[in-house]
Structure 1
Amino acid sequence: MVRLVLGAEAAQKLSDVSLSNNTIQRRIRDMSGDVKDQIIEEIKASPIFAMQVDESTDVAIACQLLVYCRYLLKSIIKEEFLCCQNLETSSTATDVMNAVSLFFDKHDLNWNKLVGITTDGAPAMLRLRSDFQAKVKSKAPNTVGVHCFIHREVLGSKSLPSGLLTIFTGIVKVVNYVKNSALNTRLFQQLCHDMESEHSSLLFYTSEILKSEHFELRLAYLVDIFEIFNQLNLRPQGKASNLLSHCDSIHAFLAKLELYKKRVSVGKFMMFPSLNEVLVDGQLSSTLSKEIMDHLSQLDDEFCRYFPDLSPQYAGLAKNPILCQVDDVLENA
């Protein structure tokens, strides 16, 4: 038919195209398998490696186990996505361990080379005796277990005094109301355009704006403090990050909290630019000042609770071997 309508040249081009309905799928699968084989061979060649494990439920309500790996390749630290395993039924520590063990056995990975395991704070991952990390350490005794720093930062930043929480909840409702409807989103964008606003889009998580006392001041403070949280959460991300730099960033944040509290106590708010901009004559009521002080104190307490030990025994030798005390050096260092 093509030859009759378009000619012999077009017919030849069409005949060169594979007509299999799964050709692209097969090629993608082959390329994916090749990449995985290369990564596994590099891990086997590395003297040590560490893993980050997370269990998540996707939009199809399928439970997925995601595993990332960090290892050495010719003195260069590499980070790669290792595997994604389906958890068919439950997602207990035993299920997670079985999935990881099967992957290790299938690809002949050495448990003795595993030196680090990072998970979130779910009970299946961090329960005292029956958690996933404990099961990993039973196979690899030298492994160091770490609770994800970013997850701990999120947990530590959740505390809000009632006044700030009311404002935050109201803002979230407004944003969700706009984002849950395509029509509302377009109307909101048009409104921003008519007002010549710099921005015209909303984040999904960010609602009824409540006409409460000090609303604008409380909202401005929330904008500033969450911007500080965003910057803090960005620091542990990236291939150059490590446990020591994570500890330093938390140390710095706790020191900043102390400085913030001292400045708020004397009526100085230059570290909160949005709040400082909307202040009338640079003055803040005693009620709102106390509310901000209470929030900063809560943050200090929560971060100290979620980060009880920010000075690993090996930190001194790794950060500054010249000033490190001999007694602080590990026996196998």
Structure 2
Amino acid sequence: MSNQKRKCRQYSGEYLKYGVIPSVNNEQLPMCLLCEKTFTNEGMKPSRMNFHLKVKHPEKANRDVAYFRDLKVKFEKRSTIGGLFKSHGNEVEKGLIASYKVSKLIAKCGKSHTIGETLIIPAVKEIISTMMPTQKDITPSIPLSNSSVSSRIDEMASDIENKLYDELKTTQFSLQLDETTLRDNEALILAYVRYINSSHAVVEEFLFAEKLEVDTKGSTVYKAVEQFFKQKGIPLSNVIACATDGATSMVGRHRGFIAHLKREVPDIFTIRCVIHRQHLAAKHLSDRLHSTLQAVIKAVNRIKAHSLNDRIFRQLCHENEEEFERLLLHTEVRWLSKGNCLRRFYDLYDSVLDFFKCKLLDEKISTDLENRRADVAYLSDIFNKLNEVNIKLQGTKMCLINAKGIIMAFISKLDFYKSCLLRLDLNQFPSLKALKENQTDDSCLSDTDLDCYSSHLQALKEDMTIRFKDLKELKIPEWVVNPFQADATNADPNLVEELKTCKMTLKDHKISGLNDQLEKVHRENEARVKRESKLVKEIEDLKVDTLGLSYRIETLQIEKEIEIEKFSTKLQDPQETNDHLNEELSDKDASIGEYLNKLIEMEQINLDMCDRLANVEDEKIASTHWLESRFKDKIVEFEEIIGEMKTEKERLEMSLVRNGRYNCLLQELKALKEEYSHKFSEMEQKKS
């Protein structure tokens, strides 16, 4: 018997009527809710539990189950030391997470680390006390002191750097370097990397910024890069491409950084920065245009250099109701500065001339600027286009394939701009076009000016063609440019399988995109049909109103004839008849004038309706052409929808026919108006 397994009783919900629940520490042991005493498993018998209740708690023996259920709820909600520590631990953990998140936001915004305890914590306190007065203060559990924020930012930055270094150790990547000098003559070398991560996404990250102690020679830069890669355990052989500017220390054939790098990585692909070359090409100006640019910069500096001149010029712009009130300084190191400075200067050109004339600062500047208005307009337009190209070349997703398309397209556009100038087609040069339209004389844009501008465009094209020769000769595989239509058999054997999968995936996406566009067009057609039905209903209501107005005019005509007959019988007393006739005629004229005004309003409404119907018809035709050109391969699936569109078109044509009938009715009303005018003139003659 001793070796047999003892029977273990399990708790049942029916035992609650005896005031017993499972023990907190062991659910197989019963515990009394009244005295909180725990018994052995043998005490789980109903007889023993009933005996304990009647002997130890006789005053509670006759209580129902609801009483013990409420007692159980109170027991479960009681405060315990373990629960207090657990809730406090959860609060501290959440506060720590919030501290990291807020520190990340502070780092992103570039704010001072003290802003956490000086602004964010007080702001959170005010928000909680105002919006949730009963909520306890949670700010003490969020550490946002200066040192806490700094340590959080350093920890997160270190973690991000370590992850980046670990990825670069096993991943091939491209490197971009640039050397810069700070205000205190401190030289820095900046490095960026671009690679494909484990998720097959192109990632661009900032790698490091190292200080150059003495000089910025190519060997010094290479030693700094090599030392950093060795410290982080990143092999230089993982660098497959490198981009730099055109400085001699970078691209020198024997002692440049690229030369040192190629000795370590012979097969590396190197290229000069595309944006830097585009900026250098934009600086190529003729002597005349260069002197114009210097005159603009001199005028801007003359105004901006003195605070009094700046305030007076701002007040002058305010009085002239200019869109802007400040000029922009030109900064050579800013790529977009020159175009923005010229654009703002030309927008405030008249105010600038007024300022120099009124202040009498320098009559030569005012006269010189007046003679160079066309040059400033041209420079403003061409640098605006150069800025657009520069902005397109920026961004983390830009690559050589896209850059080649943008640069080659702009070079080809230069010939088009030149031909437009020679034909005096200035649509591509809005400032020059506005200048020519505002000034009637031909001296504002002479043949000499056109020759100067066209020569600059030709020189700009030749300069960019030379600078981007390597980019033009860069061969890009067909399957990279157009993987959907490229022949997979001519690609690299290692990429054939992936390319075919990509083609099928792109095809599925294209079909799904076409279906989405079809649904969108279908919804637009439904909305257009609703608008057309609403217009037809408005036209019908307008017809009803017009018929009522016509009936009212006919009634007035009959009443007019009756009144005329009455007045003809009273002509025996000319004075009385004349006064009465004048009074009646004035009343009738006012009434008829009111209805004629209403008729004119109805006619205007009808014209608006016709315009709206014409716009709807134009939208319909444009939508039909778009569908026919967009879904040639899916024409079989779209026949039903095209049929519906044709039906709607016929319905619109019928509406236009009914509209034509309504125009005929308006013409009849106009004829009736002329007839009334003629009769009124006859009545005036009779009265006289």
1:292 aligns with 2:453: yes
Distance of 2:384 and 2:326 partners within structure 1? 17
Equivalent residues of 2:295, 2:369 under 8 A apart: no
Equivalent residues of 2:175, 2:241 under 8 A apart: yes
Give the structure 2 partner of residue 243 of structure 1: 400
Percent identical residues: 30
Instruction: Choose the corresponding residue for 2:481, options 309, 315, 319.
Output: 319
Higher CA-based Rg: 2
Give the structure 1 partner of residue 295 of structure 2: 170
CA-to-partner distance for each residue in 1:32-64, whole Å, 9 max, x for gaps?
Answer: 323222222232343x21111000001121101
What amino acid does structure 2 have at the position aligned with 1:71?
Answer: Y
Distance of 1:174 and 1:332 partners within structure 2? 62
Distance of 1:90 and 1:331 partners within structure 2? 48
| Cα distance change on mapping 1:213 and 1:195 into 2, 3 Å | closer
1:145 aligns with 2:306: no
Distance of 1:330 and 1:236 partners within structure 2? 29
Instruction: Choose the corresponding residue for 1:200, options 325, 332, 337.
Output: 325
Moved over 6 A (4+): 16-19, 324-327, 329-333
What amino acid does structure 1 have at the position aligned with 2:285?
Answer: L
1:229 aligns with 2:354: no
What amino acid does structure 1 have at the position aligned with 2:160?
Answer: V
Distance of 2:280 and 2:196 partners within structure 1? 32
Aligned-pair CA distance for 1:75: 0.3
Unaligned runs of 5+ in 1: 1-12
Distance of 1:296 and 1:174 partners within structure 2? 26
Instruction: Choose the corresponding residue for 1:259, options 399, 403, 416.
Output: 416
Q: What TM-score do you get using the length of structure 2 for normalisation?
A: 0.43
Q: Which has the higher contact order (CA 8 A, sep 6+)?
A: 1
Q: What TM-score do you get using the length of structure 1 for normalisation?
A: 0.85
1:70 aligns with 2:194: yes
Aligned-pair CA distance for 1:305: 1.6
Aligned-pair CA distance for 1:171: 0.8
Query: Secondary structure of 1:270's match?
Result: helix
Distance of 2:455 and 2:286 partners within structure 1? 7
How many pairs align? 317
Distance of 1:303 and 1:232 partners within structure 2? 13
Distance of 1:157 and 1:324 partners within structure 2? 39
CA-to-partner distance for each residue in 1:7-34, whole Å, 9 max, x for gaps?
Answer: xxxxxx99x9899x86655554444323
1:118-157 equivalences under 5 Å are: 118-157=243-282
Give the structure 2 partner of residue 304 of structure 1: 465
Aligned-pair CA distance for 1:136: 1.5
Give the structure 2 partner of residue 43 of structure 1: 168
1:50-65 equivalences under 5 Å are: 50-65=174-189
Give the structure 1 partner of residue 218 of structure 2: 93
Equivalent residues of 1:261, 1:296 under 8 A apart: yes
Equivalent residues of 1:115, 1:144 under 8 A apart: yes
Equivalent residues of 1:54, 1:67 under 8 A apart: yes
Give the structure 2 partner of residue 5 of structure 1: none
Distance of 1:223 and 1:129 partners within structure 2? 41
Instruction: Choose the corresponding residue for 1:32, options 154, 157, 173.
Output: 157
Worse overlay, 173-182 or 318-327: 318-327
Aligned-pair CA distance for 1:212: 5.6
Give the structure 2 partner of residue 161 of structure 1: 286
Give the structure 1 partner of residue 230 of structure 2: 105
Equivalent residues of 1:217, 1:278 under 8 A apart: yes
Equivalent residues of 1:117, 1:145 under 8 A apart: yes
Distance of 1:257 and 1:324 partners within structure 2? 34
Unaligned runs of 5+ in 2: 1-138, 331-340, 346-364, 496-688
What amino acid does structure 2 have at the position aligned with 1:251?
Answer: M
CA-to-partner distance for each residue in 1:71-126, whole Å, 9 max, x for gaps?
Answer: 11120011111110000100000011011001100001122221111111110011
Query: Secondary structure of 1:66's match?
Result: strand
Query: Secondary structure of 1:67's match?
Result: strand
Equivalent residues of 2:175, 2:243 under 8 A apart: yes
Worse overlay, 33-42 or 119-128: 33-42
Distance of 1:262 and 1:42 partners within structure 2? 52
Worse overlay, 139-148 or 75-84: 139-148
Query: Secondary structure of 2:393's match?
Result: coil
What amino acid does structure 2 have at the position aligned with 1:95?
Answer: T
Aligned-pair CA distance for 1:170: 0.9
Equivalent residues of 2:175, 2:191 under 8 A apart: yes
1:170-189 equivalences under 5 Å are: 170-189=295-314
Equivalent residues of 1:167, 1:210 under 8 A apart: no
The structure with the greater share of residues assigned to strand is 1
| Cα distance change on mapping 1:18 and 1:50 into 2, 3 Å | closer
| Cα distance change on mapping 1:243 and 1:24 into 2, 3 Å | same
What amino acid does structure 2 have at the position aligned with 1:277?
Answer: A
Equivalent residues of 1:120, 1:147 under 8 A apart: yes
Give the structure 2 partner of residue 7 of structure 1: none
Give the structure 1 partner of residue 81 of structure 2: none
Equivalent residues of 1:313, 1:330 under 8 A apart: no
| Cα distance change on mapping 1:209 and 1:225 into 2, 3 Å | farther
Root-mean-square deviation (CA, aligned residues, Å) is 2.9
| Cα distance change on mapping 1:264 and 1:38 into 2, 3 Å | same
Distance of 1:251 and 1:122 partners within structure 2? 24
Distance of 1:250 and 1:324 partners within structure 2? 27
1:211 aligns with 2:333: no
Equivalent residues of 2:401, 2:476 under 8 A apart: no
